[in-house]
A and B are shown apart, each in its own frame.
Chain A
Amino acid sequence: GESVGLHLPTLSVQEGDNSIINCAYSNSASDYFIWYKQESGKGPQFIIDIRSNMDKRQGQRVTVLLNKTVKHLSLQIAATQPGDSAVYFCAETLGGSNYKLTFGKGTLLTVNP
């Protein structure tokens, strides 16, 4: 079946470095993508989203890039901080609806001081 996956299950970076978390999706019909952050013992927290009619969107210290040609999504975190340590999930859905979000496998980001 269609699924969302991640290339790297773990990523370790130094504080102050930039982080890039990647996600491959296989459903070419997906038109809305979201990145979530989940800290230990907490629920997922929305970071940033992007619709399929865009290829880049920026937030505060975060940028999401969408490459529909190769069905690839990435999350860039600038000047990574220890508080960024968490599991990051990409999620996709159809029709711009939240109702059936499909989450990817997740990447554990560890920021070393």
Chain B
Amino acid sequence: DTEVTQTPKHLVMGMTNKKSLKCEQHMGHRAMYWYKQKAKKPPELMFVYSYEKLSINESVPSRFSPECPNSSLLNLHLHALQPEDSALYLCASSQARTGELFFGEGSRLTVL
């Protein structure tokens, strides 16, 4: 099993809503990532979890709140988002600091 599974695939939310994006991997990877990708742009790193602890926060606004409940799961909690937050949110995992990043297919978020 070499998959990173993200749910939901599509999400539409209002600016006052609270929603969550979920990511799961069963490859035994100990590093998990959230990236944001706008249309026709490269992915931009948001957060890195290493061994279930937040390792990197790329100055992401607090309306995005990551959570790593266990080594297989990674969540991204969303609250009071803005229309400019509409994007494809990609989850990835890797063995640790080195090695290939495996990406999920992303959750496409639209904020109205």
**Interface residues of A, Cβ cutoff 8 Å to B:** 32, 34, 41-46, 49, 89, 95-101, 103-106
> By the criterion CB–CB under 8 Å, are A89 and B99 in contact?
no
* B97 and A46 contact, CB distance less than 8 A: no
Min CB–CB distance B66 → chain A (angstroms)? 14
Residues of chain A within 8 A (CB-CB) of B41 are: 105-106
Query: Is chain A's interface secondary structure helix, strand, loop, or mixed overall?
Result: loop
- Which of A43, A89, A95: most chain B Cβ within 10 A? A43
Q: Which B residues form the contact surface with A (CB < 8 A)?
A: 4, 31, 40-45, 48, 50, 55-56, 90, 92, 94, 97-106
Complex Cα gap A19–B55 (Å): 38
A49 to B98, CA, bound (A): 11
In angstroms, how far is the closest chain B Cβ from the Cβ of A90? 9
Chain A residues closer than 8 Å to B104, beta-carbon distance: 43
Bound Cα distance A89, B97 (Å): 20
Q: Are A42 and B105 in contact (CB under 8 A)?
A: yes
Q: How far is the CB of A99 from chain B (nearest CB, A)?
A: 5
Complex contact B56–A104 (CB within 8 A): no
A-B contact sample (19 more), CB < 8 A, given A43-B104, A103-B42, A106-B40: A34-B101, A43-B4, A43-B92, A44-B43, A44-B101, A44-B103, A46-B100, A46-B101, A96-B98, A98-B31, A98-B97, A98-B99, A98-B101, A99-B31, A99-B55, A99-B56, A99-B97, A105-B41, A105-B42
B48 & A44 in contact (Cβ 8 Å cutoff):
no
**In chain A, what residue has the closest Cβ to B40?**
A106
Q: Is the CB of A46 within 8 A of B102?
A: yes
| Distance to closest chain A CB from B53 (angstroms) | 13
With contact pairs A41-B105, A43-B103, A43-B105 given, residues A98 and B42 touching in the complex (Cβ less than 8 Å): no
The 3 A-B residue pairs with the shortest CB-CB distance, nearest first, are: A43-B103, A103-B42, A97-B97
